[in-house]
């Protein structure tokens, strides 16, 4: 039964997504960028951390297609290598914050009353912790660790997600179809995940596509503090930061990582819009 | 010259499938002081016509083409937006359907009523306010004089609609457009609002275009009636002549399908009967009548001194106040009362959707409470509810098949997948839909079809009691007739018991054997339907009966 249902729903959604040209173009673009980041470092004849102090700040050339940085490292290798980390952090941390935030927000909004009040006060407390102090605290406790990056970002990003989901849940739970589901004797679990969640998907997807760039930039800020990505490793965030500092001397240092970053975000946003529409049955026949 | 003349108006909407013709060449004219009723079901183009006059339709997608709307020698269709702004609210005003959302909640009502005077520079703000107070007095919003700073939320629906009328008439326009102005109101309030519109318009010599789906209602105040069907005018005549001698089959159907207090109790004629179109098949009435069924001595459901209390900031509010009702198996209890009388709360308390505070609910003679609902799903299975708004009560993300199968899965009613599907199809056929509708989503259906789906969903668990909570109140009369017929025939074939909640007494009379009248949380009158109608004991009940539009009666007609 359940397999039949999910397959028909996802088939519908897929056919609607395919009909959306922008979304499909974005999907292809994202796939292309991921492939570039996955295999780019292998294609380059230079390694991402190989320094060459004779060839600093070189403009793009045949040997170095995107030029070199202040230590003579190949920018192409560094950008594609950094893409791996940025994409991974951006998508994984968003996914983590989605899972925690949506579950927490739905539970809080659906339960209502005192439980809701307490759960939301807890969110407020976490909101009020200064982020930097929180990160330093984590570093003191656990030492430098790449996993901490996810933990720190996840711990911050799910809060807004939870609030958005809670607000939507509260509006929706008064809808008559939820009351109808209660009158039919459905369990809370079923109402939450089968009736509420699919109707929350629109705002959730939109917020998630906004979270991805926020997370990628946050990662750059954290790397600057010494948490997460450390030189000679790179990420788009840290490359853009470095490029911004040396903009007058070597504009390509900002241009290329920035371009790839923007392209990814555009594609994610269009894909998010497309997904939202595809998952909404009202968009079937105009 | 302040005549409005619509001449061969065409309005279409551009959509993906091409142009959709909403208004297809209609002619209409209104003279000062004349009330013209524009009647039709939803989708007939009556609101589009009304909105076209003031150019309130977003264009695109709306396209106007050929045709003229002539107002004082000007063609309104070709005026610039700035000219239209001068006409709107000054020469032509409009009242909308929903008084709850058409007033700004952040401004005092008086300021809003005075606003048209100030915007059109008719008088200074101080004078405007005085005039607004005077006008509000005229439409019967008395307490504004005492509390001039009151906001919309402090007004009831009827009072808000009166304020809207005051706002529309304050500039002394030559024409008033009223788009279903009383549809969202209780019958008693509706009667008062209609009287005010009629009185003021004769007084101020304002022409009125009164748009409604309810022919009986329009007959109460219109001089002429124009009936629209699928974008075209099918009949236009003096109100009396239309009722005495309807020409077009659609108009005949509209007159016949509204339940009257006298109509026979088995079947309402529908538009399809008159138009000779394919009729939605209904199962034939079984030969054995309801009366022949063995009546068990205990009522199916009964309440004893039931109290529901809501906590508010000031004092606890008694939504249901020591109510005793009982419904015999296979019969219908009609529950009537104005909004806020507690009838919806009572219905939901029976289903344990609202928790009771005191008293008892007995199902088949056994007392039940929220614990018995928690313990066993059997109670849930045997009691179901149909809501007012079928669109809001269907999950927009589930297909009809999923919606209907889910209750069977949860209650483990039918085991195999194949049998479940068969049952869903047979249920759909029972409510007049078919297998081809299985994979569609709620938004792809019309209002009447959606309510049929809700009925089918309620039937999936094979309940004994169904609570119909204003389940036809949001519908056009023609669709209402179909749904009422369906409910009647299901009761006959399945022996269902209904609690039929409505504010419309003629509908309740059609459906029920017994009627309970509620006011302020109490059942003030209780008895057989005929007894309540013919010999109401309470003044409130007679007021409710009095307020039903009785076009047929007032025109001394019989059908």
How far apart, in Å, are the Cα atoms of B127 and each of A78, B20, B115, B124? 74, 47, 11, 5
Look at residue A2 in the predicted model and tell me its pLDDT: 37
Q: Which helix (H) or strand (E) holds B272?
A: helix B271-275
* Secondary structure letter of residue B278 according to DSSP: P
> Of B256, B280, B309, which one is at a domain's C-terminal end?
B256
Q: Examine residue B39 and state whether it is found in any structural domain, yes or no.
A: yes
| Segments forming the whole domain that contains residue B320 | 301-554
Among A1, A8, A178, A183, the strongest candidate for a mutation testing the B interface, having the largest count of B CBs within 10 A, is: A183
Average pLDDT over every residue of A151-178? 87
| Distance from the A18 Cα atom to the nearest Cα atom in chain B, whole angstroms | 18
CB A95 within 8 A of CB A156: no
- Check residues B37 and B289 and name the one with the higher pLDDT: B37
Q: Would you kindly state where each structural domain of chain A is located, as residue ranges?
A: 2-44+73-283
DSSP bridge pairs for B12 = B21, B63
Residue of B nearest to A283 (CA): B443
CA B29 and chain centroid, separation: 28
- Check residues B279 and B184 and name the one with the higher pLDDT: B184
- Check residues A28 and B505 and name the one with the higher pLDDT: A28
Task: State what percent of residues in chain B have pLDDT above 70.
Answer: 93
CB contact under 8 A, B16 and A187: no
User: Which class would CATH give A2-44+73-283?
Assistant: mainly alpha
Q: Which helix (H) or strand (E) holds B424?
A: helix B417-430
Q: What DSSP letter does each residue of B386-414 carry, written as one string?
A: E-S-TTTTS-TTS-HHHHHHHHHHHTT-S
- Say yes or no: B105 and B229 in one domain: yes
Which of B165, B161, B167 shows the shortest CA–CA distance to B184? B161
- Say yes or no: B315 and B181 in one domain: no
> Of B228, B256, B284, which one is at a domain's C-terminal end?
B256
Q: Which helix (H) or strand (E) holds B249?
A: helix B249-256
Does residue B197 surpass a pLDDT of 80? yes
Number of helical H runs and strand E runs in chain B:
22, 22
Partner residue opposite A281 with nearest CB, options B380, B397, B405: B397
Does residue A179 surpass a pLDDT of 60? yes
Residue of A nearest to B348 (CA): A183
Q: Examine residue B274 and state whether it is found in any structural domain, yes or no.
A: no
CB contact under 8 A, B394 and A177: yes
Interface residues on B facing A, Cβ-Cβ cutoff 8 A: 15-17, 351, 353, 377, 380-381, 383-385, 387-389, 392-399, 402, 405-407, 409-411, 417, 439, 441, 443-444, 454, 457, 460-461
Q: Examine residue B457 and state whether it is found in any structural domain, yes or no.
A: yes
CB contact under 8 A, A179 and B15: no
CB contact under 8 A, A8 and B461: no
CB contact under 8 A, A280 and B397: yes
Average pLDDT over every residue of A223-244? 76
**Whole-model pTM?**
0.77
Look at residue A84 in the predicted model and tell me its pLDDT: 87
pLDDT tens per residue across span B534-545: 888 888 888 888
- Check residues B255 and B555 and name the one with the higher pLDDT: B255
Look at residue A110 in the predicted model and tell me its pLDDT: 92
What gap in Å lies between CA A178 and CA A176, rounded to an integer?
A: 5
Task: State what percent of residues in chain B have pLDDT above 90.
Answer: 17
Q: Which residues of B touch A175 (CB under 8 A)?
A: 392
Look at residue A3 in the predicted model and tell me its pLDDT: 36
Task: Give the number of C-alpha atoms closer than 13 A to the C-alpha of residue B200, restricted to the C-beta side.
Answer: 26
Does residue B401 surpass a pLDDT of 60? yes
Look at residue A137 in the predicted model and tell me its pLDDT: 80
CB contact under 8 A, B407 and A185: yes
Beta strand pairing status for B68-71 and B4-15? antiparallel
CB contact under 8 A, A183 and B441: no
A128: left (phi over 0), alpha (psi -120 to 50) or beta: alpha
Q: What DSSP letter does each residue of chain A carry, written as one string?
A: -HHHHHHHHHHHHHHHHHH-HHHHHHHHHHHHHHHHHHHHHHHSSS-TT---TTSTTPPP-SSSTT-B-TT--BHHHHHHHHHHHHHHHHHHHHHHHHHHHHHHHHHHHHH-HHHHHHHHHHHHHHHHS-HHHHHHHHHHHH-S-HHHHHHHHHHHHHHHHHHHHHHHHHHHHTSHHHHHHHHTT--HHHIIIIIIHHHHHHHHHHHHHHHHHHHHHHHHHHHHHTSS--TTS--HHHHHHHHHHTTTT-THHHHHHHHHHHHHHHHHHHHHHHHHHHT-GGGTT-
- Say yes or no: B15 and B134 in one domain: yes
**pLDDT interval class at A106 (50, 70, 90):** very high
pLDDT tens per residue across span B76-101: 888 888 888 888 888 899 988 877 77
CB contact under 8 A, B457 and A175: no
Which of A230, A78, A77, A185 shows the shortest CA–CA distance to B383? A185
What gap in Å lies between CA A179 and CA B385, rounded to an integer?
A: 10
> What sign for the dihedral angle of Cα B197, B202, B207, B213?
positive
CB B211 within 8 A of CB B47: yes
Among A1, A5, A182, A184, the strongest candidate for a mutation testing the B interface, having the largest count of B CBs within 10 A, is: A184
How far apart, in Å, are the Cα atoms of B376 and each of A46, A116, B299, B368, B371? 70, 28, 21, 11, 9
Look at residue A210 in the predicted model and tell me its pLDDT: 83
pLDDT tens per residue across span A256-286: 888 888 899 889 888 888 888 888 877 654 3
Which of B426, B515, B435 shows the shortest CA–CA distance to B462? B426
Which of B554, B553, B548, B527 shows the shortest CA–CA distance to B538? B527
Look at residue B265 in the predicted model and tell me its pLDDT: 64
CB contact under 8 A, B410 and A180: no
What gap in Å lies between CA B486 and CA B430, rounded to an integer?
A: 9
- Say yes or no: B66 and B194 in one domain: yes
Q: Examine residue B234 and state whether it is found in any structural domain, yes or no.
A: yes
CB contact under 8 A, A281 and B407: no
| Distance from the B401 Cα atom to the nearest Cα atom in chain A, whole angstroms | 10
CB B207 within 8 A of CB B34: yes
Quick count: other Cβ atoms within 10 Å of Cβ B518? 27
Look at residue B292 in the predicted model and tell me its pLDDT: 42
Partner residue opposite B402 with nearest CB, options A5, A185, A279: A5
Average pLDDT over every residue of B455-461? 92
Beta strand pairing status for B18-30 and B35-39? unpaired
Average pLDDT over every residue of B188-214? 86
CB contact under 8 A, A179 and B461: no
* Mean pLDDT over the full length of chain B: 84
Residues 6+ apart with CB under 8 A from A16: A277, A278, A283, A284
CB A275 within 8 A of CB A23: yes
Q: Which residues of A touch B441 (CB under 8 A)?
A: 281-282, 284
What gap in Å lies between CA A70 and CA A250, rounded to an integer?
A: 9
Among A12, A185, A186, the strongest candidate for a mutation testing the B interface, having the largest count of B CBs within 10 A, is: A185
Look at residue A25 in the predicted model and tell me its pLDDT: 93
Number of domains within chain B: 2
Q: Examine residue B295 and state whether it is found in any structural domain, yes or no.
A: no
**pLDDT interval class at B550 (50, 70, 90):** low
> Of B256, B291, B326, which one is at a domain's C-terminal end?
B256
Q: Which residues of B touch A284 (CB under 8 A)?
A: 441, 444
Verify cis geometry, omega within 30 degrees of 0, for the bond prior to B61.
Answer: yes
Task: State what percent of residues in chain A have pLDDT above 70.
Answer: 92
Which of B190, B225, B203 shows the shortest CA–CA distance to B30? B225
Quick count: other Cβ atoms within 10 Å of Cβ A64? 23
- Say yes or no: B149 and B92 in one domain: yes
Q: Which residues of B touch A281 (CB under 8 A)?
A: 396-397, 399, 441, 443
CB contact under 8 A, B397 and A180: no
Look at residue B289 in the predicted model and tell me its pLDDT: 43
pLDDT tens per residue across span B103-138: 888 888 888 989 889 888 888 888 998 889 888 888
* A18: phi then psi, degrees, rounded to nearest 5: -60, -30
**Strands, E, within B457-537: which ranges?**
465-469, 497-502, 514-519, 522-528
What gap in Å lies between CA B206 and CA A135, rounded to an integer?
A: 72
Look at residue B291 in the predicted model and tell me its pLDDT: 44
Residue of B nearest to A180 (CA): B393
CB contact under 8 A, A183 and B444: no
Q: Which residues of A touch B454 (CB under 8 A)?
A: 180
- Helix, strand, or coil here: B180? coil
Does residue A4 surpass a pLDDT of 60? no
- Say yes or no: B306 and B441 in one domain: yes
CB contact under 8 A, A175 and B381: no
CATH number of the domain to which B200 belongs: 3.40.50.300
- Say yes or no: B482 and B404 in one domain: yes
Q: Examine residue B273 and state whether it is found in any structural domain, yes or no.
A: no
How far apart, in Å, are the Cα atoms of A202 and each of A49, A168, A272, B22, B85? 42, 10, 9, 31, 37
Average pLDDT over every residue of B504-522? 89
Partner residue opposite B461 with nearest CB, options A1, A184, A282: A184
What gap in Å lies between CA B418 and CA B400, rounded to an integer?
A: 16
**pLDDT interval class at A54 (50, 70, 90):** confident
Residues 6+ apart with CB under 8 A from B546: B191
What gap in Å lies between CA A73 and CA A40, rounded to an integer?
A: 15
**pLDDT interval class at B551 (50, 70, 90):** low
Q: Which residues of B touch A279 (CB under 8 A)?
A: 397
How far apart, in Å, are the Cα atoms of B307 and each of B314, B354, B361, B370? 19, 11, 10, 14
CB B483 within 8 A of CB B280: no
pLDDT tens per residue across span B257-309: 877 777 666 777 777 777 765 545 554 444 444 444 455 668 899 999 999 98
Q: Examine residue B67 and state whether it is found in any structural domain, yes or no.
A: yes
CB pairs under 8 A between A and B: 80
* B139: phi then psi, degrees, rounded to nearest 5: -85, 5
* Secondary structure letter of residue B213 according to DSSP: S
Average pLDDT over every residue of B451-463? 92
Look at residue A63 in the predicted model and tell me its pLDDT: 75
pLDDT tens per residue across span A181-193: 888 888 888 899 8
Look at residue B264 in the predicted model and tell me its pLDDT: 63
Average pLDDT over every residue of A219-240? 76
Q: Examine residue B139 and state whether it is found in any structural domain, yes or no.
A: yes
CB B558 within 8 A of CB B552: yes
Interface residues on A facing B, Cβ-Cβ cutoff 8 A: 1, 4-5, 8, 175-177, 179-187, 190, 194-195, 198-199, 279-282, 284-286
CB contact under 8 A, B461 and A5: no
Residues 6+ apart with CB under 8 A from A156: A131, A134, A218
- Say yes or no: B353 and B243 in one domain: no
Among B397, B408, B441, B443, the strongest candidate for a mutation testing the A interface, having the largest count of A CBs within 10 A, is: B397
Does residue B156 surpass a pLDDT of 90? no
Which of B116, B159, B117 shows the shortest CA–CA distance to B139? B159
Residue of A nearest to B445 (CA): A282
Partner residue opposite A195 with nearest CB, options B15, B395, B443: B395
* Mean pLDDT over the full length of chain A: 82
Does residue A109 surpass a pLDDT of 90? yes
- Say yes or no: B49 and B174 in one domain: yes
| Distance from the B523 Cα atom to the nearest Cα atom in chain A, whole angstroms | 25
């Amino acid at each position: 039964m359940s397999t039949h249902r999910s397959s028909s729903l996802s088939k519908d959604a897929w056919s609607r997504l395919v009909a959306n040209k922008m979304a499909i173009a974005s999907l292809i673009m994202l796939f292309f960028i991921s492939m570039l980041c996955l295999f780019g470092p292998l294609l380059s004849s230079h390694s991402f951390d190989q320094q060459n102090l004779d060839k600093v700040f070189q403009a793009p050339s045949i040997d170095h297609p995107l030029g070199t940085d202040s230590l003579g490292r190949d920018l192409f290798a560094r950008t594609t290598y950094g893409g791996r980390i940025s994409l991974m952090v951006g998508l994984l941390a968003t996914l983590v914050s989605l899972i925690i935030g949506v579950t927490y927000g739905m539970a809080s909004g659906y339960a209502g009353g005192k439980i809701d009040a307490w759960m939301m006060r807890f969110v407020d407390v976490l909101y009020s912790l200064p982020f930097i102090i929180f990160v330093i605290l984590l570093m003191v406790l656990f030492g430098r660790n790449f996993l901490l990056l996810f933990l720190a970002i996840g711990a911050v990003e799910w809060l807004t997600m939870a609030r958005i989901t809670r607000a939507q849940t509260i509006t929706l739970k008064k809808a008559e179809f939820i009351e109808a589901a209660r009158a039919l004797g459905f369990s809370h679990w079923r109402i939450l995940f089968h009736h509420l969640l699919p109707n929350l998907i629109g705002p959730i997807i939109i917020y998630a596509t906004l979270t991805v760039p926020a997370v990628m930039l946050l990662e750059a800020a954290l790397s600057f503090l010494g948490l997460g990505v450390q030189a000679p490793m790179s990420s788009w965030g840290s490359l853009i930061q470095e490029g911004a500092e040396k903009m007058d001397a070597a504009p390509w240092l900002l241009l290329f990582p920035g371009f790839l970053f923007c392209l990814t975000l555009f594609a994610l946003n269009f894909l998010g819009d497309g997904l939202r529409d595809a998952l909404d049955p009202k968009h079937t026949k105009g | 010259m302040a005549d409005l003349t619509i001449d061969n108006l065409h309005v279409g909407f551009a959509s993906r499938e091409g142009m959709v013709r909403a208004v297809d060449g209609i002619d209409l004219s209104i003279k000062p002081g004349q009330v013209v009723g524009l009647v039709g079901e939803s989708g007939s183009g009556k609101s589009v016509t009304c909105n076209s006059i003031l150019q309130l339709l977003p264009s695109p997608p709306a396209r106007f083409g050929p045709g003229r709307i002539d107002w004082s020698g000007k063609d309104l269709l070709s005026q610039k937006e700035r000219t239209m702004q001068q006409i709107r609210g000054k020469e032509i005003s409009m009242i909308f359907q929903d008084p709850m959302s058409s007033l700004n909640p952040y401004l005092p009502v008086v300021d809003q009523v005075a606003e048209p005077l100030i915007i059109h520079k008719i008088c200074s703000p101080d004078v405007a306010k005085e005039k607004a107070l005077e006008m509000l007095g005229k439409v019967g919003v008395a307490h504004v004089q005492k509390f001039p700073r009151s906001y919309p939320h402090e007004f009831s629906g009827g009072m808000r609609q009166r304020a809207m009328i005051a706002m529309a008439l304050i500039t002394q326009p030559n024409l008033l457009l009223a788009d279903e102005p009383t549809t969202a109101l209780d019958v008693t309030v509706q009667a008062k609002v209609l009287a005010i519109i009629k009185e003021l318009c004769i007084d101020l010599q304002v022409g009125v275009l009164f748009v409604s789906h309810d022919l009986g209602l329009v007959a109460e105040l219109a001089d002429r009636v124009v009936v629209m069907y699928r974008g075209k005018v099918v009949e236009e005549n003096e109100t009396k002549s239309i009722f005495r001698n309807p020409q077009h089959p659609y108009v005949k159907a509209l007159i016949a399908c509204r339940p009257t207090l006298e109509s026979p109790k088995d079947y309402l004629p529908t538009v399809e009967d008159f138009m000779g179109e394919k009729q939605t098949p209904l199962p034939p009435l079984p030969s054995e009548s309801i009366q022949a069924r063995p009546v068990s001595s205990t009522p199916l459901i009964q309440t004893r001194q039931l109290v529901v209390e809501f906590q508010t900031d000031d004092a606890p509010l008694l939504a249901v106040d020591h109510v005793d009702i009982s419904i015999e198996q296979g019969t219908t209890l009609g529950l009537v009362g104005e909004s806020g009388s507690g009838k919806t709360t009572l219905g939901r308390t029976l289903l344990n959707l609202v928790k009771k505070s005191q008293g008892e609910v007995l199902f088949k003679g056994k007392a039940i409470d929220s614990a018995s609902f928690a313990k066993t799903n059997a109670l849930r299975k045997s009691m179901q509810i149909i809501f007012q708004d079928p669109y809001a009560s269907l999950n927009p993300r589930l297909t009809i098949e999923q919606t209907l199968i889910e209750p069977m899965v949860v209650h483990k009613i039918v085991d195999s997948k194949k049998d479940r599907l068969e049952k869903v199809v047979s249920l759909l056929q029972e409510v007049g839909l078919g297998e081809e509708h299985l994979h569609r989503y709620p938004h792809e259906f019309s209002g009447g079809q959606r309510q049929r789906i809700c009925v089918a969903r309620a039937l999936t668990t094979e309940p004994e009691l169904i609570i119909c909570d204003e389940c036809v109140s949001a519908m056009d009369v023609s669709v209402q007739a179909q749904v009422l017929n369906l409910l009647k025939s299901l009761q006959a074939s399945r022996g269902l018991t209904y609690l039929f909640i409505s504010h419309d007494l003629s509908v309740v009379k059609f459906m029920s054997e017994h009627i309970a009248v509620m006011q302020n949380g109490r059942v003030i009158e209780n008895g057989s339907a005929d007894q309540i109608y013919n010999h109401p004991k309470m003044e409130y009940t007679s007021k409710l009966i009095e307020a039903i539009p009785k076009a047929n009666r007032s025109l001394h007609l019989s059908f």
